[in-house]
């Protein structure tokens, strides 16, 4: 009976929140009889069918200097995936600050495109790192560390090893897929490569304001072909995060009680449907969206019992859409999902009792600051419970 009621509730939410079915890039004008395998698959995903997640794996990883890596487009990405997994996964099993920055920087690169400004460029083109000024924009604060890692990886594979097909545009979106699946419980998003780089600066004022009102943010995303449902699915990535640049007086405070874990607790805590510890900081725009008539249902749908599966699927579909904004050669792209790390489908933090104590205290000095740092680095919290007395 409970399962039946859950299904009725889910259907009601889905009917209230339809997903976008708009096509993008060259798929808008290409007839279906001219679509490649990738073009057909992506067209299905953009129009609401097909599975946006995949557990297909490649167990064959030749040397990066082998002839095979010269003929198989995904071979080099297998090596890059391993490098990124090592960068993003903490010894606690949680994902770390580099993974969180990777998801964010991929959005900030792609999200600079809109239907109204498409003639000005922007989108998933690598310009957030390759342009002379985008990383200095205030909205891009807090991502310089992962940008530096990406530059090193790009230089190694694109320059030193001569893989000219490895673009910064792909590295950013591929990195987001790796980061998402490295975070425990995160989806394994189907992932394509073949984007073209640009060093031209993207248009301004196309990313959401963390203090923005819900109506303005909804309109901003709809102009990117992302529906209110898609917006809330993407917003859920805040489940892993610890903010530094929205409220400077609360550095390292998380957006839900399980930072570094890709669970749906974020939706319930932002909505206020469960008790929320003092240290959990709700980004003002997130709170505004949680209470808005158009988007509240999304928080309810994803935060419900069993909502994780629906959220992961919707996030994967919207992440694919996001990573194709401004891309006009979708039909020639290559799917490389098979080289992504495996998903972690079950997880519990062995140090959650210590984290729970930290969450109840609003001290940002001494041992309390140490806990924040351990969590950001993906480490097990290495302080005693006695030191965390409130």
Query: What is the structure's pLDDT at 6?
Result: 56
Task: Say if residue 263 carries a ligand binding annotation.
Answer: yes
Tokens 């998380």 found at: 254
Question: For residue 389, what pLDDT band results from cuts at 50, 70 and 90?
Answer: confident
End-to-end CA distance of the chain: 43
Mean pLDDT of 294-319: 98
The verdict on whether residue 119 carries a ligand-binding annotation is no
Is pLDDT above 60 for 341?
Answer: yes
Q: Is 239 annotated as a binding residue?
A: yes
CA distance 177 to 193: 12
E strand segments, 116-218: 192-193
Mean pLDDT of 31-55: 99
Provide the 8-state DSSP code for 95: B
The residues spanned by each domain of the chain are: 2-339, 352-388
Binding residue per annotation — 256?
yes
With beta carbons less than 8 A apart as the criterion, state whether 93 and 262 touch. no
307-322 helix and 228-235 helix, angle to the nearest 10 degrees: 100
Tens-place pLDDT, residues 64-103: 999 999 999 999 999 999 999 999 999 999 999 999 999 9
pLDDT at 11 over 90: no
Q: Which of 108, 149, 158, 292 is catalytic?
A: 108
Q: Is 314 annotated as a binding residue?
A: no
Give buried/exposed letters for 80-112 (b at 16+ CB in 10 A, else e): bbebbbebbbbebbbbbbbbbbbbbbbbbbbbb
Lowest mean pLDDT among 1-10, 57-66, 239-248: 1-10
In this predicted structure, the answer to whether residue 390 has a pLDDT above a threshold of 90 is no
Q: Is the pTM of this model over 0.85?
A: yes
- Topology of domain 2-339 in CATH is Peroxidase; domain 1 (1.10.520)
DSSP structure string for 200-247: SPPPSS-S--TT--HHHHHHHHHTTT--HHHHHHHHGGGGG-EESSS-
356 known member of a binding site: no
Among this protein's residues, is 155 annotated catalytic?
no
- pLDDT of 8 reads 47
How does residue 372 score in pLDDT terms, banded at 50, 70 and 90? very high
| Cβ pair 298, 229 in contact under 8 A | yes
């Amino acid at each position: 009976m409970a399962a039946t009621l859950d299904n009725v509730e889910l259907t009601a939410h889905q009917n209230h929140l339809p997903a976008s079915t708009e096509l993008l890039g060259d798929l808008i004008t290409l007839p279906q009889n001219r679509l490649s395998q990738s073009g057909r698959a992506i067209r299905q995903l953009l129009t609401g069918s097909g599975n946006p997640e995949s557990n297909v794996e490649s167990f064959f990883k030749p040397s990066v200097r082998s002839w095979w890596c010269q003929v198989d487009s995904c071979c080099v990405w297998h090596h890059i995936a391993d490098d990124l997994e090592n960068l993003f996964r903490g010894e606690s099993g949680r994902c770390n600050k580099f993974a969180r920055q990777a998801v964010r920087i991929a959005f900030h690169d792609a999200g600079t495109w809109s239907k109204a400004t498409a003639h000005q460029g922007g989108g998933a083109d690598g310009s957030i790192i390759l342009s002379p000024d985008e990383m200095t924009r205030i909205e891009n604060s807090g991502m310089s560390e992962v940008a530096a890692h990406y530059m090193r990886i790009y230089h190694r594979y694109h320059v030193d090893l001569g893989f000219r097909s490895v673009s910064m545009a792909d590295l950013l979106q591929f990195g987001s897929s790796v980061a998402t699946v490295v975070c425990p419980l995160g989806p394994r998003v189907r992932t394509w490569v073949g984007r073209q780089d640009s060093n031209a600066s993207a248009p301004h004022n196309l990313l959401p304001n963390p203090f923005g009102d819900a109506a303005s943010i909804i309109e901003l995303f709809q102009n990117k072909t992302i529906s209110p449902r898609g917006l809330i699915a993407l917003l859920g990535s805040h489940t892993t995060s610890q903010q530094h640049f929205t409220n400077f007086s609360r550095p390292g405070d998380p957006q839900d009680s399980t930072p570094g874990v890709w669970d749906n607790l974020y939706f319930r805590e932002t909505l206020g449907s469960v008790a929320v510890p003092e240290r959990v900081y709700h980004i003002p725009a997130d709170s505004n969206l949680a209470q808005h008539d158009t988007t509240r249902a999304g928080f309810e749908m994803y935060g419900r019992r069993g909502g994780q599966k629906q959220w992961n699927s919707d996030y994967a579909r919207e992440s694919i859409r996001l990573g194709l904004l401004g891309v006009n050669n979708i039909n020639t792209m290559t799917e490389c999902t098979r080289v992504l790390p495996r998903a972690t489908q079950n997880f519990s933090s062995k140090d959650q009792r210590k984290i729970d104590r930290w969450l109840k205290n609003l001290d940002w000095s001494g041992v309390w600051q140490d806990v924040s740092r351990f969590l950001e680095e993906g480490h097990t919290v290495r302080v005693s419970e006695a030191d965390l007395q409130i």
